[in-house]
Structure 1
Amino acid sequence: MILRLLVPPVDRPGPDTPFDWVLADRAGAPLREGRGPLGEVPRGDAVELILPASRVLFARLKLPKVNTATIRELLPYAVEDRLLADPSQIHAVPGTTNARGETLVAVVDRGWFQGALALLARAGLSPSRAVCESALAAPGPQAWTAVLGAERCFLVEDDGYAVAFDRPAGREPPLALRIAVDEAAGRDARPAQLEVLAESAPPDAAPWSETLGLTVRVREGKGRLALPVSPRAIDLLSGEFARRSRALSGIRVPRLAVALALAIAALHAGLTAFDTFRLERERRALEAEREALFRSAFPEATTVVDPALQMARNLGTLQRARGEASTDDFLAQVTRVARDDPAPARKLTWAGGKLTVERAPKGAAK
């Protein structure tokens, strides 16, 4: 199931702030809807965050042809003059580019957005994407949509550009719509019709149509939170706010490179295993050869644990049996003589297993 949450437009939403929500199945069909604090909101397999139109600014900008990382760094400065805000407090994400080379950019206050995400995280909710609510009212080609809600009103143009406005009090359309139509005419992008989605007190289409010079259709606008998201919607969970798994998946590695890396890793593992097997086999062969040499020299041995050590011990025994001293006997005799007489020796003679010491005459210079 998919849980869709609409963030309230307040400055600092808290644990007790009510959220509008819709719980839908995987096909997008709504199952339940309601309003309440995050602690009372049902859980779904996926979470979609909807941002109020009054918190998202849209701009059309002609951007330089540079890589995505550079564009992400330049965008806050590109919209600085329109917001009169510190670029470090702006989170901007580019969208589609039109035929005139203008890129639609969505902008949100970084601190507010970060606070909303932190609030959801404390409630155990991790959204998979975050889009403006204007993406739920996307019009068709050469058509615009105006949403008249009880609390929020906004206009959505055919390229996804959206702007919030106050609900009109009289029969005339709001000033924001008239300005938008005039600006579109200057860009040669005047719409052919306007669809008005009214949650309550629908306006009279006739004066709107006469003032705007457009075909105006009015229909009920309830249940908008359950409408499908436009495929051209700008996901604000990008850049520094991107989920880790999605950030990694965004790194596109050619399949051939991946296959080559896997093949190299498999070959390396195979060669390492073969080399280990070869060295182990050689070690066993050398151990068997040492044991065979020891048994050929000392056939009476019943147990062979360390052929080299046992060979050295047996060799010493044979040398002593034949009257030949081993290196250990020489060292033992030298040590014993040094302990018995600490006087300096002039000459040491070792022959036939016997040590002869020639001392220096008494009184000789040391």
Structure 2
Amino acid sequence: MTTTLMLLAGERWPQDPVADWVLLDAARRPLDHGRSDPRHWPAADRHELVLAGSLVIRLELELPPAPKREQPQLIRYALESHLARDPDLQHLTVSGRDPANARVGVLVVARSELATLVATCKALGRPLDAVRSALQLAPPASGEWTLALLPGATAVLRTGLQAGMALDADSTDTLAEWLALQLDATPAEARPTRLEVRSTTGTPIPETPALAARIGVELREGPTLDWWRLANDAANLLHGEFAPAHGGDGWWRQLRRPALLAAGAAGAWLLVQAALVAIDGGEERALRERGERLAAEALPGQPLLEPRMQLRRAHERALQVHGQLAAGDLLALFDAALEAGAPQPQALRYEDGRLTLELASAPPADLLVRLDARGLAARAEGSRLLLAARP
């Protein structure tokens, strides 16, 4: 069973090595969970990191229509007006697109920060298969915002499907100040009708009535937040220069199990076929040897070139010697033709074991099939039907 260890990296990780973790089975169901330093993390086949805090920022950009190969450069150009940092020193990941208005969600993390995280996990013997951002948690319903409270006094505010930001949540006052600032910066027509508050197990929820009164928006407590349960389409930051060398989320890891099953099934099928061929070959060889022994006994003193044909001819001669019809005799051929459904001939001719019937019209094709099934060599030439015993 393939297991995955999900790690929640807070603002100060790995300087503070303690992290929340969840161990998942192959169906991504939790097997165990805890909070500890790396020495006490459980063994796993795969490792994924979820980044909380402000290491990652999420922006929503509007890009002009352009070929896909030109979009990375357009994104970097658009980021210059949004970032105080050099865009060339950032690692960019597209996290969603809105075809209706050409808006693109982009996750931005410093390349040096991401390199440190990847190198640290590799040094711990926990090579990363994926790095995802907590900014992709808890997408809001239409017209609402979602506030996701995480361990370590951090929170994620989702204001849209492609928008999210990290907030400090060390106290209700701090959280209220951040929310008030964001609401003040939001046009009246885009303000939420309600703010849904969700928290992970063990994370305290601020007093919602007091918080609602301070920010002037209705609050509702939502279901418990599983920080490790991101959407299936949550973007993986490990791509390009950071793509996992050991496979990661690449196509081979996804197809490895089905490919191995298919290879095993194909191998088993080949073994069965080889065994059947060997058995069939052995039976065929035994039958051929038995036929040759019988032919040698029935045709003493004759070289066996075509035992089957030689035995048939010997049988025909024996029938004729004893006054019985052989397969190639006139009456035998004519009787077989009538039994197969041949029409009454207008004339017939027999010569050298071949019977020619003159019919009123061309014989039907199914008649030739029936004659062939009776062991006769039959062919049609216009309205004539030519018959002979098959050698």
**TM-score range for the pair, normalised by the shorter chain length:** 0.5 to 0.7
Structure 2 SS opposite 1:217: strand
**1:75-90 pair list within 5 angstroms:** 75-90=75-90
Matches of 1:25 and 1:249 in 2, distance apart? 20
Amino acid at match of 1:238: H
Contact persistence 1:137–1:224 (CA under 8 A): no
Please show how residues 25-104 of structure 1 align to structure 2 within 5 Å. Answer: 25-98=25-98, 99-104=100-105
3-state secondary structure, aligned to 1:81: coil
Partner of 2:159 in structure 1? 157
Distance in structure 2 (CA, Å) of the matches to 1:20 and 1:238:
25
The one-letter code of the counterpart of 2:11 is P
Taking a change above 3 Å as real, the CA distance of residues 43 and 138 of structure 1, as seen in their structure-2 partners, is: farther
Check if 1:17 corresponds to 2:20: no
Contact 1:202 1:219 in 2 (8 A): no
The secondary structure found in structure 2 opposite 1:206 is helix
Asked if 1:206 corresponds to 2:192, the answer is: no
1:295 — aligned with what?
none
TM-aligned CA deviation for residue 7 of structure 1: 1.9
Aligned mates of 1:27, 1:182 — CA distance in 2: 43
Deviations 1:77-118 (A, max 9, x none): 432333311223211112222333221111011101111001
Q: How many angstroms apart in 1 are the aligned matches of 2:36 and 2:211?
A: 36
Change (3 A) 1:113 1:196: same
- Cα deviation per residue 1:303-333 (whole Å; 9 max; x = unaligned)? xxxxxxxxxxxxxxxxxxxxxxxxxxxxxxx
- Superposed CA RMSD in Å reads 3.0
User: CA contact under 8 A between 2:155 and 2:166: conserved in structure 1?
Assistant: yes
CA contact (8 A) 1:156 1:163 kept: yes
5+ residue gaps, structure 1, are 251-366
Distance in 2 of aligned mates of 1:125 and 1:2: 11
Q: What letter matches 2:82 in structure 1?
A: R
Structure 1 residue 240: Cα displacement: 2.0
TM (norm. structure 2) is 0.55
Q: What amino acid sits opposite 1:218 in the alignment?
A: E
Aligned partner of 1:157: which letter? T
Larger mean CA deviation between 175-184 and 125-134 belongs to 175-184
Give the whole-Å Cα distance in 1 for the aligned partners of 2:11 and 2:172.
25
1:277-299 deviation line (CA, Å, top 9, x unaligned): xxxxxxxxxxxxxxxxxxxxxxx
Return the offset for 1:211.
4.6
Change (3 A) 1:180 1:233: farther
Q: Deviation string for 1:25-65 (max 9, x for gaps)?
A: 22322121122333432122222210113111111111233
Q: Which whole-Å CA distance do the structure 2 matches of 1:173 and 1:35 have between them?
A: 24
In the alignment, is residue 126 of structure 1 matched against residue 113 of structure 2? no
**Alignment size in residue pairs:** 245
Q: 1:226-257 CA deviation, whole Å, 9 max, x = no partner? A: 4x21234222112222235579859xxxxxxx
Tell me how far 1:129 sits from its aligned partner.
Answer: 2.0
The answer on whether the counterparts of 1:147 and 1:197 sit within 8 Å (CA) in structure 2 is yes
- Select between 105-114 and 77-86 the one with higher mean Cα deviation: 77-86
- Aligned letter for 2:92? A
Which one has a bigger Cα radius of gyration?
Answer: 1
- Percent same amino acid among aligned pairs? 27
The 1:111–1:3 alpha-carbon spacing in structure 2 relative to 1, beyond 3 Å, is same
Report the alpha carbon displacement of residue 4 of structure 1 after superposing the two structures with TM: 0.3
Report the equivalent of 1:282. none
Which has the bigger relative contact order, CA under 8 A and spacing at least 6? 1
